[in-house]
Amino acid sequence: MQNFKLNKTDLLGAQDWTFPTFTAYGPGRFKEIGNFCKNFNIQNVLIVTDSGSINLPFISDLQNLLLDSKIKSNIYSNISPNPRDDEIESGCKKFRDGSHDGIIAIGGGSAMDGGKAISLTVNSGIPLWDFEFLDKVPRDLKGKNPFPKLITIPTTSGTGAETENTAMVTDTKKGMKFCLWHPDARPCLALVDPELTLKLPANLTAWTGVDAMIHAIEGYSVPMFHPLCDGSALESLNLISKSLKLAVNEPDNLVARGGMIIGSYLGGIAFLKGLGLVHAISHMVGAEYNTHHGLTNAIILPTVMEYNLPGLEEKVQRMSEAMQFDDHSVNGFKENLNKMLDEVNIPRGLNEIGVPEDSYKRIAKKSMLDQAYGQNPKKATLEEVEQLTLKSIKKAR
């Protein structure tokens, strides 16, 4: 099979898209943030980022760009790798105390989920957990503008969180992660600049990059007819298969970084259909052990693929073709995925990142309450989820 390369002209050029939300893509577009804020009439921004990003250069750069445009700003950075409900409550207080009129969520998925969760509840008059995905959509919102304007700026290429209106937050009382959303709370702008990912270390490039790949695989595997999501999933896999190893090994390769960040963006669209057991298990591992979400997903992936893929031969072939593999069989696809994981040094079991073996029954039981469990292409029993979880802990591949 002929192997095609990344299109340098496309990935290094400036692009504006309107689906699924207004998006400004291109190297150097971060410098336009002041003008974008003015266009949306944002004058006093709360910058939301995660605790691991607060001292990184893009935060001070963002403040200086806003200052140059005479836009006031303050920072809230008390967001964990797995955002918690108490952190969202503190962020809402910071927003109100500062009389802010907009939010810029900048960083990885946790920062953007934190910003989105704050925007859901800070002005709407609706308690945070009333936005839980499986509940009835809240309609009794306060004021003319219940959701403050939200700009999302990814600095990793993993979650695709910049594209959509969902946020994963940990319920500290239940020790579980839940998906929060409202159909009217979509970001007004996703600013996608691959230059912001150039300094991302090799391990985080790998962990977040595999996370993006999993979004596309699980989203495409959901048994629902949604050609917009499915087309996004296949193009996501096409870009990631060409870009991931290159971005890990050549961190200054802007073309590869562009391929990865668009692949991640498209993965975020793909999983609007739903996800599956990789995420159902990973969400509960992250809620309990605060593990890195992308790394946790990457470790679990082979175990769930072994369970899910038989019976999905047509989908497997189309994904394999998009990724330019030679063997399009189910076994060939699994082996090629495992090879990719080996090439970017993904651990072989959750026990290597601090998840104890005796937690598997508890994690499995919680996983079956996750919305992604119900979206999996195969309906798994509790015993099957327990075995998948145990295998993921001991040796997933």
Q: Are residues 81 and 187 in the same domain?
A: yes
What is the average per-residue pLDDT within 73-95?
Answer: 96
The model's pLDDT over 277-291, given as tens digits with 9 standing for 90+, comes to 999 999 999 999 999
Q: How many degrees, rounded to 5, is the angle at CA 185 between CA 181 and CA 190? A: 110
Q: Are residues 70 and 204 in the same domain?
A: no
What is the average per-residue pLDDT within 123-149?
Answer: 88
Question: Is-contact 241 216, C-beta < 8 A?
Answer: no
Ranges 113-127, 129-143, 198-212, 301-315: which has the least confidence: 129-143
Percent above pLDDT 90 for the chain: 92
Q: Are residues 310 and 386 in the same domain?
A: yes
CATH code of the domain containing 128 = 3.40.50.1970
Is residue 24 one of the residues assigned to a domain?
Answer: no
Q: How many degrees, rounded to 5, is the angle at CA 306 between CA 303 and CA 308? A: 105
Please give the pLDDT value at position 1: 52
Residue 133 has pLDDT above 60, yes or no: yes
Q: Which residue, 169, 192, 215, sits at the end of a domain?
A: 192
Residue 310 has pLDDT above 60, yes or no: yes
Is residue 85 one of the residues assigned to a domain?
Answer: yes
Is residue 174 one of the residues assigned to a domain?
Answer: yes
Residue 305 has pLDDT above 70, yes or no: yes
Residue 292 has pLDDT above 80, yes or no: yes
Residue 371 has pLDDT above 70, yes or no: yes
Q: Are residues 218 and 347 in the same domain?
A: yes
Please give the pLDDT value at position 246: 96
The model's pLDDT over 313-342, given as tens digits with 9 standing for 90+, comes to 999 999 999 999 999 999 999 999 999 999
The model's pLDDT over 210-261, given as tens digits with 9 standing for 90+, comes to 999 999 999 999 999 999 999 999 999 999 999 999 999 999 999 999 999 9
Q: Are residues 185 and 230 in the same domain?
A: no
CATH code of the domain containing 248 = 1.20.1090.10
**Count of domains for the chain:** 2
Q: Are residues 53 and 108 in the same domain?
A: yes
Q: Are residues 246 and 118 in the same domain?
A: no
The number of CA neighbours under 13 Å toward the Cβ of 96 is: 12
Percent above pLDDT 70 for the chain: 99
Cα–Cα distance for residue pair 19/89, rounded to 1 Å: 31
The model's pLDDT over 142-201, given as tens digits with 9 standing for 90+, comes to 877 899 999 999 999 998 999 988 999 999 999 888 999 999 999 999 999 999 999 999
| 129 token code pair | 């957990």
Is residue 12 one of the residues assigned to a domain?
Answer: no
Q: Are residues 41 and 179 in the same domain?
A: yes
| 220 token code pair | 């495409």
Closest Cα to residue 214, out of 340, 314, 352?
Answer: 340
| 53 token code pair | 């990003």
Please give the pLDDT value at position 338: 98
Is residue 10 one of the residues assigned to a domain?
Answer: no
Q: Are residues 259 and 124 in the same domain?
A: no
Q: Please give, one letter per residue, the 3-state secondary structure of the chain.
A: CCCCCCCHHHHCCCEEECCCCCEEECCCHHHHHHHHHHHCCCCEEEEECCCCCCCCHHHHHHHHHHHHCCCEEEEECCCCCCCEHHHHHHHHHHHHHCCCCEEEEEECHHHHHHHHHHHHHCCCCCCHHHHECCCCCCCCCCCCCCCCEEEEEECCCCCCHHHCCEEEEEECCCCEEEEEECCCCCCCEEEECHHHHCCCCHHHHHHHHHHHHHHHHHHHHCCCCCHHHHHHHHHHHHHHHHHHHHHHHCCCCHHHHHHHHHHHHHHHHHCCCCCCHHHHHHHHHHHHHCCCHHHHHHHHHHHHHHHHCCCCHHHHHHHHHHCCCCCCCHHHHHHHHHHHHHHCCCCCCHHHHCCCHHHHHHHHHHHCCCHHHHHCCCCCCHHHHHHHHHHHHHCCC
Is residue 22 one of the residues assigned to a domain?
Answer: no
What is the average per-residue pLDDT within 76-96?
Answer: 96
Note down the domain range covering 230.
Answer: 200-394
* 2 band by pLDDT with thresholds 50, 70 and 90: low
Which one has a higher pLDDT value, 176 or 31? 31
